Structure 1
């Protein structure tokens, strides 16, 4: 059985959001801006590129975020938590990490995605589970945890 070695390496921190997943969430949330994108994979007309550094920008409206999945993911999740707006995040479900407990567990809602996503035009599913983390403008005291059908 052939295994795509890039999926199991740190060669890339960029995991392009599956279009059907984004479209389903966009129908629900009506995103204004993609806060962390490349011109080739942005999901919204308005987006911040790495050169603009979304971590240094003010986030307004309803934000979509699929951050780099490397060491900086904690900084992106902290920004999502601290922004005074609604931010919907696609992240690996790394429930054993510091960033998960420091930031994801303070979200309004956590949606665990059933199965493994296929990112971008990959032929194989990701080697990790994913979750949708929702930070609402006004967080509730109680976190809502659900499963989410990806397509």
Structure 2
């Protein structure tokens, strides 16, 4: 498998920068990566595209950096629904505050941390062409 495609602008999959993830993992202690490929999975337990994380149960402390294409709203809804059922999910998302999914499932319902500057995903040499945000779905979460 040519993993370089997962880090290029020819895909909607953007691999989370490891140091960025490590800082969040130190705070939240993730147990499941809901959307990964073997080459970029951030947790021991993870769902691949073939397993389709949207169709799987999200349990434990979930990390999700979903594909940023047209279906990103489905991933956000899944995180919202998981948290509504008592679960806990942290997502890395493009900061698209003008979208329906942002207003329906994030704005006023979650903790949002806008990222200063632009992230460099995977092995990209240049920063992303979009701003990013971390969205925390779920109740009390620090140091659990």
Q: TM-score range by the shorter chain?
A: 0.7 to 0.9
* Structure 2 match to 1:149: none
Cα distance between partner residues in 2 of 1:107 and 1:124 = 32
Other-structure match for 2:134: 132
RMSD: 1.3
More helix as a share of residues: 2
Question: Is the CA contact (8 Å cut-off) linking 1:107 and 1:133 kept in structure 2?
Answer: no
Show the counterpart of 1:16. Answer: 15
1:92 pairs, out of 66, 91, 94, with: 94
- Do the aligned partners of 1:89 and 1:134 also contact (CA within 8 Å) in 2? yes
Give the whole-Å Cα distance in 2 for the aligned partners of 1:69 and 1:128: 11
Deviations 1:51-88 (A, max 9, x none): 11111111100000000000010000000000031100
Distance, in Å, in 2 between the alignment partners of 1:76 and 1:103 is 10
Aligned residues: 130
1:99 match: secondary structure: helix
Runs of 4+ in 1 over 3 A off after TM superposition: none
Q: Is the contact between residue 107 and residue 134 of structure 1 (CA under 8 Å) also seen in structure 2?
A: no
Q: Residues 106 and 59 (structure 1 numbering): CA distance in 2 closer, same or farther, change over 3 Å? A: farther
Runs of at least 5 residues in structure 1 that lack an aligned partner in the other structure: 1-5, 140-151
Taking structure 1 as the reference length, what is the TM-score of the superposition?
Answer: 0.83
State which of 106, 110, 131 in structure 2 corresponds to 1:108: 110
| Structure 2 unaligned residues grouped into runs of 5+ | 1-7
CA contact (8 A) 1:31 1:63 kept: yes
Note the alpha carbon deviations across 1:11-41, whole angstroms, 9 max, x for none: 2000000001100000000000000001111
Partner in structure 1 of residue 46 of structure 2: 47
SS in 2 for 1:40: helix
Number of the residue aligned with 1:26: 25
Contact 1:17 1:119 in 2 (8 A): yes
TM-score, normalised on structure 2?
Answer: 0.86
